[in-house]
Structure 1
Amino acid sequence: MEFTNLDYKRIEDALLNGLKLNKLQKEFIELFETKTIIAGPGTGKTTSLAAKIALMLIDLNRNNKNEGICIITHTNVAVNEINNALQKAGVGKIKHPHFIGTIHEFFNKFCVLPLFKIAFKNNNLHFPDKNQPDHNNIDTYISLLSRKYRWMDEGVKKSIARRIDSSNLIINTEERRIDIENTNNWDKFDKYKDDMLRFKIKRKSQGYITHSDTFLFSEYFLFNKRMVEILRNRFKYVFIDEFQDTNKHGERLLDNLFKTDKNIIQKIGDPFQTIGFGEVMPEIKKDDIFRLNISNRFGSALGNQLNIIIPEAQIETKEEISSFNPILLAYNNPESVGLAYNRIIEKLSKESLTFNSNKKRDSILVLRKDTTKKYFNIEYKEDKKKKKDSIVSELKKLIVKFIHKKIMEVEIDQTIEVRKWILSHRNIPEINSLLVDVLKNGLNDTLTIKIRDEINCLLKERAITEIKRNNKLFKDIEEIVNKTLNTEDQNYIENQISTIHSVKGETHRSVLLLDFEKKPLTKILMNRYLSPDIEEDIDFINRNLLYVAMSRPTHLFIYAINEEELTDEIKTKFIDQYWDIKYVQEFI
């Protein structure tokens, strides 16, 4: 593929507000071979990926090529982010023959549903949720057992039903079939194995599956060589966003599918942000790596510290971007640290125009939620972004339910099919985007009209009477939004506190990191600065958590340390690496 200067200008004007892509971002965009792209914090990963896809779509349309692009994202938020960027660039959202969605959506659409249609004549999949976590499987298995073993005691049937439910389906690769394992080491497993497998498959065939079943049934489906070739021929280009968070079973299936001479698969993310407990670090061959490592987030004062924590990150910074030296903040009383932090912020806001004009969050980060109760005597509050996401989800459900009811008043039958049609409609993502704006700005006249028009597009397609802007639906939306805004927590420190896990992917103005109790992060920090050359077993999850916390801020990072632990050796080592040493009593 070839992109002209005009192509680049069009994308830069749309996505970068007049700024230019840097040399590494352009190299990534023009890279068309199977690679793992390690994109560090603040390197513009999502923007670069969106720019690459936009330019590819321009080239494909210009040359009338029928080469499919498949983008696997970690969340639906990322789907909206990329689609919105593509719309800004004027190329429109991803549509056929291309695909964008989560790894589960990809395999459900292209493997599980085709398999269920062919093998079970079933077009519907039902996944568990918080209201029905087990699909009432036990009752179903008891019913199936009762048909064959009428003489069996009810208690025995219930016991066997539970064993069926908790026994895992597996792939027998030698015989290329689905099998069941003796997950519970049950001594009577062999006696009932055939029934257990048959009943379990029977229940699954009705569409009642789990998220892990997606990969099991997909692996089975991909034994079909013709289906494999169809997918390989459809999608020449495959991008896996946030690969470090991608389900490993699913990732292996994607590798088996698309690591061929005629396909290009690129995995984009930061393996050093693997922070889920129980996860393993991705294995990456050095020859497979392309580094997108010039950060636009912070200056060398912070970037250099991240390279001490994880030298393999190889983060580079721009000369024109500056940050403050990080601070070791020594305390006697941990409950006073939050107040001292806010005094530091107030002081810097008065002294630094660039810091004061930055509108990002100032955050207090903790490993565990209970830290806030113990040291601040307040309950941990869910992160605002997550609150907003849940409110947007609630509003979307309200609208979907409204549209569904309007249609069912006329059509009566096919209620499940109608709901599926609504949820998969091309206008739903736009409604979702408008709801995000509603939560930011309130339900004004402009947004009301836009939402009404989007809803009416769906209704017109089903020949349903359109709604007006004074419909009760908009009063219901406004009531939910106003209730959310009115209950917004005004406690400043309370609003600042988040867990490290919850802020992954975010950018903040400053960060105070607390590690008050067992101090796993402090151990790693001291090891990296006091004994960097000593090799030992790396606690990579806590190392990565430290890295994630330190890479959130644009300007200032503060690490709270007990004054009793602040030895002369520690002071010397940290000062030599351009840290500042401060004491809580200086500020309160």
Structure 2
Amino acid sequence: MNLTQIETILLHGAHFTKEQREVIQAKGRIDVVAGPGSGKTTVLAAKVLALLTNRKCEDKGICCITHTNVAVKEILERLKLGGVDEIEYPNFVGTIQSFMDKFLGRVAFANILPEVTLKLLEEEKFYEKYEKNFRRIVTDYPPDYNVPKPANNGCELVIQEDGSFYYTNNHRRYKTAINLACKWLLEDGFISYTDLKSLCYWYLRKYINELSVAFGERFSYLMLDEAQDTDQVQMAIISGLAKSQKLNVQRFGDPYQALYTIYGAETEDSWKPSPDNVLYRTKEISETTRFGSSIAAVVRDVCVEEYEHFHSNQELDFFPKYFITYETGDELKDKQDRLIEGAAASNPEFRVSQMPDAIVGIMHSDVMKIDSHYSKEGAKQRAHEKSVSEIRALIIKLLASANGLSLVEE
């Protein structure tokens, strides 16, 4: 499938920009710096679609890793539009958690506890089992108090060279109890995502040469989505597997929206794209279709660092921005109506636009203050969807428990 066909499928008549085309067609190791509204996910999906539909049976696979199930679903839906209904061997599209579980975690666990079946638990379920163990150890712990969480106290699984293991944490009073409660869970096969990272990192360090060669033989491309949200351990694991120079490693994200520094955290970002990086060329997708020029200028200047080249697509006709002052909700609605009518009178395309006209607020209660008839749109539908989701989640939990599997596996 060529780029023109992919444009027709994914962009519905629009075209990729020059920057977007360069990223889709780029080979080798690159860091793709893409601002908000720049079409990063569409570009990533287009690249995966092009590689999958043009690959030959003897070609290596494509590996695409992202951070959330929502992002995976979004990519898979766009691939389906291009006729790729299933991701088959040797390809992989999934979350970084499922990636580590599939390629490293299970075999690492089998190395230290070969007679036990690994069961990766969601955080809530892991805490429930951990709490029972903790209270068995600390029998006089107040029943109305929450037990100290491992994650809140720096609890870490440490694995020795020979495969023996222990836990460590920084809690002053219950250090021993926390460690023992986690150790019992591990010996029964129950692990958290934090434990999974420790297992993967230990196993990678032990067999890094063999694993990197095997990984390079299976995949020709490794694409990491939302690279700015990748922590130090995750990035070390991915970088270790990507030692093979045959592998086209391409990291996509927005370093100016990084989770680990945006709120002033002390942790340094694991992904730092730089023009002088000799291993990774930097490519930018700096044009946004989400904002007009005035808002794009604000976004550019309020990021963690100045986003120098970030700008709005000049071909799009954005509605001018206005401040509305008002004293009552009726006055606000009246001024909004007159503003919309004026825009429609001066621009025929505005009247037929499918974009909604709405008064919005940070909280629903803010809008209710100025409009007594306002109600949360789709509340009944969402309540119905929530009920269905809860029933589905319950069924999966019951099946997982009966089959001795994790929720992810079930």
Query: Which TM-score applies when normalising by structure 2?
Result: 0.75
Give 2:117's aligned residue.
122
- Find out whether 1:52 has 2:47 as its counterpart: yes
Aligned match of 1:244: 228
- Counterpart check, 1:17 vs 2:2: no
Root-mean-square deviation (CA), in Å? 4.4
Q: Deviations over 1:246-277 (max 9, x none)?
A: 44542343233325523222221223344764
Match among 258, 270, 276 for residue 254 of structure 2: 270
CA contact (8 A) 2:121 2:191 kept: yes
Which of 187, 194, 202 is 1:212 aligned to? 194
Aligned partners of 2:35 and 2:310 also within 8 Å:
yes
Contact 1:167 1:180 in 2 (8 A): no
Alignment match, 2:131: 138
Report the CA distance between 1:342 and its aligned residue: 5.5
Amino acid at match of 2:273: I
Three-state SS of the structure 2 residue aligned to 1:79 is: helix
Question: Do the aligned residues in 1 keep the contact of 2:64 with 2:92 (CA within 8 Å)?
Answer: yes
The alpha-carbon deviation at position 297 of structure 1 amounts to 4.0
Identity between Structure 1 and Structure 2 (%):
23
Per the alignment, do residues 244 and 415 of structure 1 end up closer, same or farther by CA in structure 2, a change over 3 Å counting? same
What's the CA shift string for 1:84-141, capped at 9, x where partnerless?
Answer: 2222212333222111111122122222233334433214322233xx5722423324
Match of 2:275 in 1: 286
User: How far apart are the structure 2 equivalents of 1:34 and 1:379?
Assistant: 55
Distance 1:306 1:141, change over 3 A: closer
Matched with 1:476 is none
Work out which of the residue numbers 165, 170, 179 in structure 1 matches 2:156: 170
Could you say if the C-alpha distance between residues 154 and 404 of structure 1 is closer, same or farther in structure 2, counting changes exceeding 3 Å?
closer
Alignment check: 8 A CA contact 2:212 2:240 kept = no
1:198 to partner: Cα distance? 5.0
Asked if the contact 2:289/2:316 (under 8 Å) is kept, the reply is yes
Equivalent position SS for 2:127? coil
What is the DSSP-based 3-state SS (H/G/I as helix, E as strand, rest coil) of the residue aligned with 1:36? Answer: strand
Instruction: Determine helix, strand or coil for the equivalent of 1:222.
Output: helix
State TM-score, norm by structure 1.
0.55
* Structure 1 spans left out of the alignment, 5+ residues: 1-5, 146-152, 425-588
Instruction: Give the alignment of 1:426-437 within 5 angstroms.
Output: none
Cα contact 2:167–2:183 (8 A) shared by 1: no
Is the CA contact 2:121–2:193 (under 8 Å) kept in the aligned structure 1? no
> Relative to total residues, which structure has the larger helix share, 1 or 2?
1
For structure 2, the 5+ residue unaligned runs are none
**1:162-561 matched pairs, under 5 angstroms:** 162=147, 167-170=153-156, 178-186=165-173, 193=176, 197-225=179-207, 226-258=210-242, 260-274=244-258, 277=263, 283-287=272-276, 288-300=281-293, 302-309=295-302, 311-330=306-325, 340-341=335-336, 343-362=338-357, 369=363, 372=366, 376=370, 392=385, 394-395=387-388, 398=391, 415-416=402-403
Q: In structure 1, what residue type is equivalent to 2:339?
A: I
Secondary structure of residue in 2 paired with 1:219: helix
Deviations 1:58-84 (A, max 9, x none): 2322xx334222111232222222212
Task: Indicate how the Cα distance of structure 1 residues 135 and 299 shifts in structure 2: closer, same or farther if over 3 A, else same.
Answer: closer
| Correspondences of 1:54-93 after superposition (within 5 Å) | 54-61=49-56, 64-93=57-86
Distance 2:165 2:327 in 1: 60
| Residues 568-579 of structure 1: pairs in structure 2 closer than 5 A | none
Give the residue type in structure 1 aligned to 2:83.
G
Helix, strand or coil: the match of 1:216?
A: helix
Helix, strand or coil at the partner of 1:18: coil
Q: Is the 8 A contact 2:28 2:248 kept in 1?
A: yes
Q: Secondary structure at the match of 2:88?
A: coil
Higher-Rg member (1/2)? 1
| Residues 302, 323 of structure 1: 8 Å contact kept | no
Take 1:90 and 1:172, find their aligned partners in 2: how far apart are those partners? 45
SS at match of 2:190: coil
Question: Which piece of structure 1 moves more, 23-32 or 266-275?
Answer: 266-275
How many residues end up aligned between the 2 structures? 392
Cα 1:157–1:22 change in 2 (3 A) is: closer
Task: Provide the C-alpha distance between the structure 2 equivalents of 1:174 and 1:400, rounded to a whole number of angstroms.
Answer: 37
Q: CA deviation at 1:361?
A: 4.0
| Counterpart-to-counterpart distance in 2, 1:363 and 1:156 | 52
CA–CA separation in structure 2 for the residues paired with 1:219 and 1:211: 12
Amino acid of the structure 2 residue aligned with 1:91: V
Report the residue type matching 1:114 in the other structure: V
> How far apart are 1:157 and its partner, in Å?
11
Task: Tell me how far 1:286 sits from its aligned partner.
Answer: 2.9
SS at match of 2:184: helix
Q: State how far apart, in whole Å, the 2-side matches of 1:248 and 1:372 are.
A: 40
Question: 1:177: how far off?
Answer: 6.7
Partner of 2:90: 97
Contact 1:372–1:378 (CA under 8 A) maintained in structure 2: no
- Could you tell me how far apart the structure 1 residues matched to 2:158 and 2:351 are? 61
Structure 1 residues 319, 174: CA separation in 2 closer, same or farther (over 3 Å shift)?
same
Q: Distance in 1 between matches of 2:158 and 2:405?
A: 38
1:377 and 1:205 map into 2 onto residues whose CA distance is 58
- With over 3 angstroms needed to count, the CA separation of the structure-2 counterparts of 1:97 and 1:84, relative to structure 1, is same
- 3-state SS, counterpart of residue 180 of structure 1: strand
Stretch deviating more after TM superposition (342-351 or 81-90): 342-351
What is the aligned partner in structure 1 of residue 3 from structure 2? 8
Q: What residue identity is the alignment partner of 1:327?
A: Y
Structure 1 residues 207 and 73 mapped into 2: Cα distance closer, same or farther (>3 Å)? same
Q: CA separation in 1, counterparts of 2:221 and 2:186?
A: 32
Q: Residues of 2 paired with 1:103 and 1:338: CA distance?
A: 46
For 1:54 and 1:318, the matched residues in 2 are separated by: 25
Contact 2:36 2:288 in 1 (8 A): yes
2:326/2:332 contact within 8 Å kept: yes
CA contact (8 A) 1:171 1:220 kept: no
Counterpart code for 1:23? K
CA contact (8 A) 1:33 1:266 kept: yes
SS of the equivalent of 1:223 reads helix
Over 3 Å counting, the alpha-carbon distance change for 1:337 and 1:8 in structure 2 is same
Question: What's 1:528 paired with?
Answer: none
